[in-house]
Structure 1
Amino acid sequence: MSDKAYAYVNGNNAEIYLPPGITAAVKVRTNSHLTQKVALTRNDGTVDHVFSGTGEHNTQIGTATVEGGESVLAATFEYSSDDGAFKPSRLNSGGPYEIGTYNLLVIVAENGDDADYNDAILEFSWYTPRA
């Protein structure tokens, strides 16, 4: 695999690859009164993390760490509508952004009540090892 991070979004799913030799901090935040759910799964189907919650003003609903280069991760984004059923969100992504040795990869979700793409935010951040 490449040593370049990427995120590819399709529907309510994102494919994420992080470079080998890094440990990435994962943060999940929400800006919605509807419950947001983000599940991180390895390519072997193992669900590593499920983050769920609600709140405005960048409410943090979870943190974790993941090792880069081990496998491609999948992130599935859903939100709970007023009837309690989970439905797929729409996604967009940005990065990876490299600022010196700091790196940031962001995937954002929209549940359709507006168009600001901040209803759920999944961030991966890490430092590039010095050679």
Structure 2
Amino acid sequence: MDDQAYVFVTGNKAETHLPAGVTVQVKVKTNSRLTQKVALKDRTGEVDLEFTGTGEQNTIIGDKAITPGQNSLLTAVFEYADADGVFKPSKLNFGGPYDIGNYHLLVVVAENGDDTDYNDTILEFSWHTR
């Protein structure tokens, strides 16, 4: 079993593999006046999270610890709603995993199209290893 962390982005979906059996902190932040939404699920239904909110200056709209199982693939779907309230797909980019000693960080960022700063929604996965 390959326990290497990675992310693969297609459209507004990010498929993420995280190490099994390690507690992973999932944090979602927003930097937008528009409503941002991230739905995070795995194939087994064990992880089924949805974070929605607005705010500037890295407003936290979600913070949850999870422990991925073996062969766990998490899918995150990013959307935003403007004044009409209808959710539309965001554009994504990603970075990592970044390994700083035994601290690890994987980041997926979303843009809703009102600028090009890719910080409208920020999804962070962080964990420690021995």
TM-score normalized by structure 1? 0.94
The residue identity in structure 1 corresponding to 2:85 is G
Q: CA deviation at 1:24?
A: 0.4
Describe how 1:104-119 pairs up with structure 2 within 5 A: 104-119=105-120
1:33-90: CA deviation from partner (whole Å, max 9, x where unpaired): 0000000011246661100000000000011111134410000000002211000000
Please give the per-residue CA displacement for 1:17-46, whole angstroms capped at 9, x wherever unaligned. Answer: 101231100100000000000000112466
How many residue pairs match? The answer is: 129
Question: Aligned ranges for residues 5-84 of structure 1 at < 5 Å?
Answer: 5-44=5-44, 48-70=48-70, 71-84=72-85
Is the CA contact (8 Å cut-off) linking 1:40 and 1:48 kept in structure 2? yes
Q: Which consecutive unaligned segments of at least 5 residues does structure 1 have?
A: none
Matched residue, 1:96? 97
User: Does 1:121 pair with 2:122?
Assistant: yes
Question: What is the aligned-residue identity percentage?
Answer: 64
**In the alignment, residue 124 of structure 1 is paired with which amino acid?**
F
The 10-residue stretch of structure 1 (112-121 or 60-69) with the greater mean CA deviation from structure 2: 60-69
Provide the C-alpha distance between the structure 2 equivalents of 1:20 and 1:51, rounded to a whole number of angstroms.
Answer: 23
Distance 2:121 2:68 in 1: 22
Report the equivalent of 2:3: 3
Gaps of 5+ in 2: none
2:47 and 2:66 in contact (8 A); partners too:
no
2:86 counterpart of 1:85 = yes
- Contact 1:39–1:47 (CA under 8 A) maintained in structure 2: no
Separation in structure 2 between the aligned mates of residue 64 and residue 48 of structure 1, nearest angstrom: 11
